[in-house]
Amino acid sequence: MRLRSLEESFDGSIIIIWKAFLLRPEPQKRDLKDFVEYTKSWNRPAKEEGSGNFKIWNGAESPLSYSVPPHVVSKAAARFGRDKFLKIHDLLLDSYFSQSLDISSETVLRSLWEKAGLDLNVFPDLTSKDIVGEIMSDHREAIEFNVGGVPAVRYEQHDVCVVGAQPLEVYTRWFGRLINQSKG
């Protein structure tokens, strides 16, 4: 939400290009009690304006922590246009952070695909070598820039990243300086 508002505030001077970074590149089952405790940390970003809707996990099970399936769905949706990508992106974030849904589940992902107005007949193979290859390429690029968390933001002409959810003012100041440097 915050990052998208940057595009508007800079009147098209910046365009956010979303790339994959895998927090969990391999499937991991997490202990439910520990996971619920971890999600209490979501209260910090939840307090910031424009951060989205975060709730402490209230699902009956801990989700399978695996980043690849939701990234496959995001990349596949992007092939149908930016608006479809953004719709899936929003649905994924809301499903996980607000509704306590396991977004690595094919059933959940199919439901989100359909809610985004995408035809289930073109739902992606979650193991697609082509799409997983794109995801891994994005991930390797992030590692090269020393990214260790999300979100991570980088101005294309620079090799410095801002990692972690930051207040809008931080991003605005940072991009403003970088754009002014680029002009000068």
Q: Please report the pLDDT score of residue 46 as a whole number.
A: 67
As a three-state string, the secondary structure of 101-128 is CCCCCHHHHHHHHHHCCCCHHHCCCCCC
Residue spans per domain, the chain: 2-183
Question: Quick one: pLDDT at residue 184?
Answer: 65
Write out the CATH class of domain 2-183.
alpha beta
| Closest among 75, 69, 65 to 27, alpha carbons compared | 65
pLDDT, position 50: 67
pLDDT averaged per 10 residues, the chain (length 184): 81 86 88 90 73 84 86 98 96 94 95 98 97 96 91 84 85 88 76
Cα-Cα end-to-end distance for the chain: 30
